[in-house]
Structure 1
Amino acid sequence: MDMIRVEPRCRVIIDNDWAGDPDGLVALAHHALSPANRIVGVTSSLTNPMFGPPGGMAQRGADLAAGLLRVLKRPEVSDVQAGSDAPFTGQARDNAAAHAIVDAAAAGGELSLILVCAGPLTNVADALLLDPAVAHSLTLAWVGGAAANEEEYNYFTDPAAADFVLENQQLAVWQFPAETYRQVVAPVAELDHAFRNSGPAGAWLWELYNSLEVPDFVTFGPLWCLGDSAPLVVTGLDDVTSTFTETGTRPSRRTYTSVDTRLIMADFLAKLRLHQ
């Protein structure tokens, strides 16, 4: 018996520093398994130097994302485009990630287009500089920034890019700041059990998590933050159980203040188990 048919509600471009924290790849798997969103592009950005010398990391991330999409049997979207390994300079740069975003925005379609960025905004800034019309064609759902004055990772990996993008008054932005995305946590035991018992995709993610190279001083607790999955409430799911504040201006500027962690996690784990 087939499950109730879920109709697509949006198109998505997914941008992340895939070679950084592996929660981005969990979010990518969730998007790829969600019939409510239609992936039209995947791009890879630079990583913070805390993950090692940045040279080649955008391409390494692209290779990781492409490998996961192939395991998920999504070869049509596994051509992941890498951006620059250097932060945004304010000067036009010819890179594949920026072109992929521009092309997806220009392609049009009946469904709204959401650019999900859960890393530094480098590729988004490069795309807007390459073609300012991108701002009129999509909504940016960004995991990053913080209401409190703190050194939030995604912002401070490339603050020049973040400032350039967020200052664009033509761009609709739905922001998931640190205070919100850090609410999305899962017990390590639940992830371990799910990955071990969920077919090839689960095995791929289990191997990824169990082969992480971290400094000796890094220790892990019983919870793992999956903050990059927060935008699923506006792409593969629905934000009916989330809360946000919104300015009265157009284009839309939202700041999500809470997301339904159990909705996100239950949906992801069920889809992962069903994808055998």
Structure 2
Amino acid sequence: MHMIRVEPRCRVIIDNDWAGDPDGLVALAHHALSPANRIVAVTASLTNPMFGPPGGRAQAGGHLAEDLLRVLKLPELPAVHAGPDAPFIGQPRANPAARAIVDAAEAGGDLPLILVCAGPLTNVADALLLDPAVARSLTLAWVGGAARDDEEYNYFTDPAAADYVLGNRDLAVWQFPAETYRKIVAPVAELDVEFRNAGPAGAWLWEHFNSLEVPGFVKFGPLWCLGDSAPLVVTGLDDSTSTYVETSAAPQRRTYTSVDTRLIMADFAAKLQLQG
């Protein structure tokens, strides 16, 4: 039996620092299993030095994303393109990730295009610098920023990139700041149960949560933040149970003040079980 039919509502580019916190990989699996969105490109960004020397980390993250997509065994999923390991420099630098974003924007299509970034905005900044027309071809859904930006991981990993992207007057942005995304949490016990009993993809995710290398000062508690899944409410699901504030002027700037955690987590658990 097939799942009840769901029509695609958008095309998505997924950008993340896949070699960092594994909640990004959960979000990638969720998008890949969601028929309401169609993935047209996946790109890998640099990681914060807290996860180790930055050299080769974007490429390593790209390999992780590719491996997960292979485990999911879904048809017609795109290749993963890695960006640079260095922060934004404010000058054009053609790299595979930026080029993939530009190509996806130029390809057009019958559905709106959403660029989901749940990491530093390095690849997005490089793409906008490479081709400014990208800004008018898509909406950026960014997991990042906070009331104090310098205290938020995705911002301070590459503040120059964030300032450049958010300062673009042609770019529509749907932002999920720290005050919102940090409330998307799941009990570790629940994740253990779901991953262990959801086939090869669940086992793959379980292994990466258990093998994450972090600095000694990081201590894990009974809850795990899955903040990178926040944009699912505007891609694979619906934001009818979320709240936000937005500007009336174009381009649209929207800040989500709450998202439905139960909706996101229940949907992912069900899709992982069906896939397994």
TM norm structure 2: 0.98
Which residue is 1:47 aligned to? 47
1:245 is paired with a residue whose SS is strand
1:146 is paired with a residue whose SS is coil
After the TM superposition, list the runs of 4 or more consecutive aligned residues in structure 1 that deviate by more than 4 angstroms.
none
2:211 is paired with a residue whose SS is coil
Which residue is 1:136 aligned to? 136
Contact 1:42/1:77, CA 8 A, preserved across alignment: no
2:125 is paired with a residue whose SS is helix
For residues 153-176 of structure 1, give each alpha carbon's deviation from its aligned partner in whole angstroms, at most 9, with x where no partner exists.
000100000000000010000000
Which residue is 1:105 aligned to? 105
Q: Work out the CA distance in 2 between the residues paired with 1:60 and 1:113.
A: 26
TM-aligned CA deviation for residue 74 of structure 1: 3.0
Contact 2:50/2:215, CA 8 A, preserved across alignment: no
Which residue is 1:244 aligned to? 244
What's the Cα RMSD here?
Answer: 1.0
Contact 1:14/1:117, CA 8 A, preserved across alignment: yes
1:71 aligned to 2:79?
no
For residues 167-210 of structure 1, give each alpha carbon's deviation from its aligned partner in whole angstroms, at most 9, with x where no partner exists.
00100000000000001000000000000000000010011111
Q: Work out the CA distance in 1 between the residues paired with 2:34 and 2:227.
A: 18
For residues 68-127 of structure 1, give each alpha carbon's deviation from its aligned partner in whole angstroms, at most 9, with x where no partner exists.
001011363251000010000000001000000000000000100000000000000000
For residues 139-158 of structure 1, give each alpha carbon's deviation from its aligned partner in whole angstroms, at most 9, with x where no partner exists.
00000000245510000100
Q: Work out the CA distance in 2 between the residues paired with 1:147 and 1:176.
A: 12
Q: Work out the CA distance in 2 between the residues paired with 1:186 and 1:152.
A: 20
2:151 is paired with a residue whose SS is coil
The amino acid across from 1:240 in the alignment is S
Which residue is 1:207 aligned to? 207
Contact 1:18/1:62, CA 8 A, preserved across alignment: yes
TM norm structure 1: 0.98
Which residue is 2:226 aligned to? 226
Which residue is 2:26 aligned to? 26
Q: Work out the CA distance in 1 between the residues paired with 2:90 and 2:149.
A: 24
Which residue is 1:36 aligned to? 36
Q: Work out the CA distance in 1 between the residues paired with 2:12 and 2:34.
A: 11
Contact 1:44/1:58, CA 8 A, preserved across alignment: yes
Structure 2 unpaired stretches of 5+: none
Q: How does 1:74-85 map to 2 (within 5 A)?
A: 74=74, 76-85=76-85
Q: Work out the CA distance in 2 between the residues paired with 1:230 and 1:123.
A: 20
The amino acid across from 1:18 in the alignment is W
